[in-house]
Structure 1
Amino acid sequence: MRVNNCKIKIFNKSEYPLPQYQTEGSAGVDLRANIEGKLIVMPKKVYQIPTGIFIEMPLGIEAQIRARSGLALKHGLSLVNGIGTIDPDYRGEIKIILINLLDRPYQLEPGERIAQMVFAEYVKADFSEVTSIEELETSERGDGGFGHSGK
């Protein structure tokens, strides 16, 4: 299996270990809640949870912040923005925008793994503006969207 590696500078101001891959095949590293005490995450409320992690990535690399599937399934914890993007020129602390989608509170513990961070290459668009929609090439799909191919 071929895996691309990329050097990422990291500063950890928390008392918890550096983010790490849990298995050899893991695509993401876990981020921990850098909170002083237990936090009751109330239903349908949004929280900004610090991680204590600061990173520097080369241009062309982004960090994607994703929900942890176990917390989502068992406790309804998700990210408000679906997937968060950390741009390579951002130098602030990585914070998790967390929401509790269930109808019961969740007790978040200090140091608990609350999200995943996945690194990915990205492409920047070089736009070529056209003056009408007819200048776009036709395709088999056309303008079919949102369920156009069935359920």
Structure 2
Amino acid sequence: MKSNNYFKKGKRPDESQSETTIIMLPSDANPKGNVFGGTILKHVDLIANLVANRHATHANTVTASIDKMTFLKPVYIGNALILSARLNYAKRSSMEVEVTVHAEDLDNGNRVLTGTAFVTVVALGDEGKPTEIPPLNLDSDNDKRRFREGESRMITRLKDAGRVDI
């Protein structure tokens, strides 16, 4: 893995966070009007990689896993799908991005939390090998808590995958 002193200064989680809104169309849903889970997962993956790219600007970022994706409420045709994403954890070449998904009924403005996910993204260099990323600068107690929780989830993922080089 390459090392570069440029990355020692780090970045704050809020420097890479993102929010996006997409209107759900008939092509996103089944005949009864429920948006497909796969459609939502596609947008979760896209925003997670956007956040990872903002943090590791020099790298090609790829999804390693999506875990803990929970669909809490349905999303319907005509709803605005609102995705918010932030970096919880970053170390070596791996990042954990937390994505929350809300649906807004555009007729009345009501918003409901419809899902959450933790996405592991890996930064790859020019040769397709893992490459070093900037560390996270953790200024707030909330940032530090989220980092610890993300690190714990990352260790669990590595153990589940049979990786011992934690």
With normalisation by structure 2, the TM-score equals: 0.27
Bigger radius of gyration:
1
**Structure with greater helix share of residues:** 2
> What TM-score comes out, normalization by structure 1 length?
0.29
